Amino acid sequence: MKIKSRVVGVELINSFEDMQYQQADLLLLETIADYAAIAIENARNFQRVNDMLIVDDLTGLYNARHFEAIVDREIAASKRYSFPVSLVFFDLDHFKMVNDTYGHLVGSRLLSEVGYLLKRSIRTADAAARFGGDEFVILLRNTSKLQALSMVKNFRALLNSKVFHGDQREIIHITASFGVATYPDDSMGKNRIDETSG
């Protein structure tokens, strides 16, 4: 199955008898394959457009608007099933200096690498987002404050040990400042979490 000479799938038809299929059968199968290829391509395009609505294109993390919906959903689940939800906020220290010294393209690449590092550091049940600029937030599902602090300690060590490079292979080390808030320990709702942890 092809779209514009690009293979998007394979159709396999078998028969236990020789010469079972006639030319008309093959034409029908080609038509079905064409429609199936169009359906596959449309589904992929729909997924790409949907991802653009919820994902930050630079870091590959969720965008702030979608993350807010995730927080609402997780706090509601936390109330219903009585498990804690922790939020970790962090921003990169002196990030403006990276942009001023090495340029915005290097800064953007560094943010992208931080996003990749963050995605690798959280569980599949958790969620992370770029809130804008060099600010990030992580939702840790069913995670106490003590567990969240342990995750922060590990991620901070990973981030501090990571070597980033400028365009001329200059070595760039970055650090970050973190804040942790846990529902319901620190707050009775999302807005209070935002206020107490900012």
**pLDDT value of position 5:** 77
Give 128's strand partners. Answer: 138
Range of the domain at 16: 2-54
Mean pLDDT, rounded, of the chain: 86
Q: Are residues 99 and 21 in the same domain?
A: no
Instruction: Say if CB 29 and CB 12 are below 8 A apart.
Output: no
> Which candidate in 25, 51, 100, 134 is catalytic?
134
Same-domain pairing of 11 and 98 = no
- The three state secondary structure string of the chain is CEECCEECCCCCCCCCCCCCCCHHHHHHHHHHHHHHHHHHHHHHHHHHHHHHHHECCCCCCECHHHHHHHHHHHHHHHHHHCCCEEEEEEEECCHHHHHHHHCHHHHHHHHHHHHHHHHHHCCCCCEEEEEECCEEEEEEECCCHHHHHHHHHHHHHHHHHCCEECCCCCEECCCEEEEEEEECCCCCCHHHHHHHHC
Calculate the CA dihedral of residues 25, 30, 31, 37 and round it to 10 degrees: 150
Q: Give residue-wise pLDDT tens across range 131-163.
A: 989 999 999 999 999 999 999 999 999 999 999
Look up 134 and say whether it is catalytic: yes
**In this structure, are 47 and 69 located in the same domain?**
no
Domain-embedded: residue 176: yes
Return the higher-pLDDT residue of 17 and 104: 104
Confidence of residue 29 (pLDDT cuts 50, 70, 90): confident
Over range 1-17, report the average pLDDT: 76
Same domain, yes or no: 48 and 71: no
Q: Are residues 192 and 97 in the same domain?
A: yes
The answer as to whether 165 is a domain residue is yes
Determine what percent of the chain is predicted with pLDDT higher than 90: 64
The two beta strands, 164-165 and 171-172, are antiparallel
Confidence check: pLDDT of 35 > 70:
yes
Residue 141's nearest CA partner among 84, 72, 98 is: 84
- Does the pLDDT value for residue 118 go beyond 90? yes
Distance from chain centroid for Cα 32: 35
Assigned token pair, 75 = 């706090």
* Pair of tokens at residue 38: 């169009």
pLDDT beyond 80 at 174:
yes
User: What total of structural domains would you count in the chain?
Assistant: 2
Instruction: Let me know: does 148 contact 182? Beta carbons within 8 Å.
Output: yes
* Same domain? 121 vs 166: yes
Residue 107 pLDDT: 96
**pLDDT digits 0-9 by tens, 43-95:** 775 655 555 578 998 999 999 999 999 999 999 999 999 999 999 999 999 99
